[in-house]
Amino acid sequence: MKRTPLKVAIGAICFVNLLYMIPSVAVSGMVAAFPDQPQNTVLLLLALPNLTGIAGIVAEPWLEKRFSRRQLSITALAVFFGSGLASFVLRENLPALIAASVVMGAAYGMQATLYPLLVNDGFEGEERSRVMGMVTGMLQLGRVAATLVGGVLARSGWYNVYLCFLAVLVPLVLAVLFLPRQSHHEEGPREGGDWFSLSGAVRLAVEGFAFAALFYMVNTHLSLYVEGYGLGDTALTGVISAVGCVLAGLMSTGFAWFERRTGRFTMTWAFAILGALYLAGSLWISLPGAALCVAGAFLGMGLFSPNLMLGFSRCAGPRRLAAVTAAVLTVVNVGYFASPYITGFLAGFVGESPADVFRVAGVLGLACALGSALASRKPQAPLQGTQEK
């Protein structure tokens, strides 16, 4: 059976999965549209999807006991599309927009859990690495495309950014046509299907939390670096971020090639790239220095994301894979949320300037790389498909 249609379907799902972030390109217009409301209340439209995304992640293993992954994927896409459309139609009703954001986030979390499960279930060996790299690359490329298109649409009204959700119809149709009706975990008892590595899952969660916290610092401090040091304006910050997303997509696309050469030390390289370039950018305060910080974050993410998704199948058999995936992704999302608090804590000791933050983050990234290298001396468990052969 040719699996190209399945690859296209999963890639399309990933391409639209970060659309929930699209209102961020129209923050000023969004706040101005509700002058009688506190700004923090309006900004819930940005914050809530991340929070309720955790609920979607946690709910997936429980729902999987009652529905197939195909059914869950189609439902999540339909809800994602519906919440975006509802936001456009009800754009003058802030409570309705907030409710739609809550639902949107849950659908995003469901999709974020399902796509690595679909790849791990549908592909094996080196092909699995290639496909995982491709679909995680599509996440970043989709984010760039949505930002560019959303920025254009927002010029004629902030609410027009929600028109980007029309793109969800494409993966929805592809999911209906090409996702398998039955996953391996639904086929009945399989030998070794219930195996589970607690140490492997804990290590993956710790590495995921650490990388997420360090990566998110580029989101919170890039603008402060570029604009605070007088290197450019908001538009330039957006261009640098977009280039970073493209770098992450390209790195993820070539992940299989990179993994063949780094083996079980791939996560070590992700931390090392992030740490070294953060540190370089913090020591060379300039526009190239800002570019180095962005390159470190996104090149590292290009290795981290597919490696994390592949790591799930090294920690659990088919019947426990969904639970492990959900648990680790929840910890990773907590890492994103904790990042500003970690930064604030460290600022009390090292200073609050962007250069200080990136310098400390760079040192921490290199320390994590060392820890990951030491933990990787022992060979990892083989991928699920290889083990069963």
pLDDT tens string 300-321: 999 999 999 888 888 888 888 8
Q: CATH code at 279?
A: 1.20.1250.20
- Give the confidence band of 9 by pLDDT, cuts at 50, 70, 90: very high
For range 56-65, the mean pLDDT: 92
Range of the domain at 33: 4-186
- Domain assignment present for residue 383? The answer is no
Q: What is the pLDDT of residue 386?
A: 42
User: What was the pLDDT predicted at 292?
Assistant: 94
Exposure string of 101-134, with b = 16+ CB inside 10 Å and e = fewer, is bbbbbbbbbbbbbbbbbbbbbbbbeeebbbbbbb
pLDDT at 293 over 90: yes
- Say yes or no to pLDDT of 387 above 60: no
Reported as half-sphere exposure (CB side, CA atoms, 13 A), residue 183 has a value of 27
Residue 7 has pLDDT above 80, yes or no: yes
Residue 74 inside a domain? The answer is yes
Same domain, 145 and 250: no
104 and 251 part of one domain:
no
Question: In DSSP terms, which residues pair with 108 in a beta bridge?
Answer: none
The overall average pLDDT reported for the chain is 87
Q: 384: Cβ–Cβ under 8 A, 6 or more apart, which residues?
A: 120, 124, 313, 314, 317, 318, 321
Query: Can you give the pLDDT at residue 187?
Result: 53
Q: Is the pLDDT of residue 45 over 60?
A: yes
Q: Which of 79-93, 157-171, 186-200 comes out lowest in average pLDDT?
A: 186-200
Say whether both 208 and 160 belong to one domain. Answer: no
Residues 261-286 pLDDT 10s: 888 899 999 999 999 999 999 998 89
State pLDDT tens for residues 318-352. 888 888 989 999 999 888 888 888 887 877 777 77
Tell me, yes or no, whether 366 and 239 share the same domain: yes
Asked whether residue 234 carries a pLDDT value surpassing 80, the answer given is: no
285 and 170 part of one domain: no
Question: Are 245 and 131 members of one domain?
Answer: no
Taking a C-beta distance cutoff of 8 angstroms, is the pair 46, 104 a contact?
no
Is the pLDDT at 131 greater than 50? The verdict is yes
Domain boundary pick from 186, 212, 230:
186
Other CB atoms within a 10 A radius of the CB of residue 290 amount to: 26
Q: How many structural domains does the chain have?
A: 2
> Residue type at 3?
R
User: Can you tell me the distance from the alpha carbon of 258 to that of 356, in angstroms, rounded to the nearest whole number?
Assistant: 31
Q: Does the residue 388 lie in any domain?
A: no
Torsion of CA 142, 148, 152, 155, to 10 degrees: 100
Q: Which residue has the higher pLDDT, 187 or 42?
A: 42
Residues 255 and 297 in one domain: yes
Residue at which a domain ends, from 186, 206, 228: 186
Whether residue 268 is found in the same domain as residue 162: no
Ranking 1-15, 186-200, 251-265, 307-321 by mean pLDDT, the lowest is 186-200
Q: Kindly state whether residue 193 falls inside one of the protein's structural domains.
A: no
Q: Within this chain, do residues 114 and 215 fall inside the same structural domain, yes or no?
A: no
Last residue of some domain: 186, 218, 251?
186
Residue, of 160 and 233, whose pLDDT is higher: 160
Lookup result for tokens 């859990």: 113
* Helical residues (DSSP H) of 197-286, grouped into ranges: 198-228, 234-253, 255-262, 266-283
Do 182 and 218 lie in a common domain? no
Banded pLDDT at 166 (limits 50, 70, 90): very high
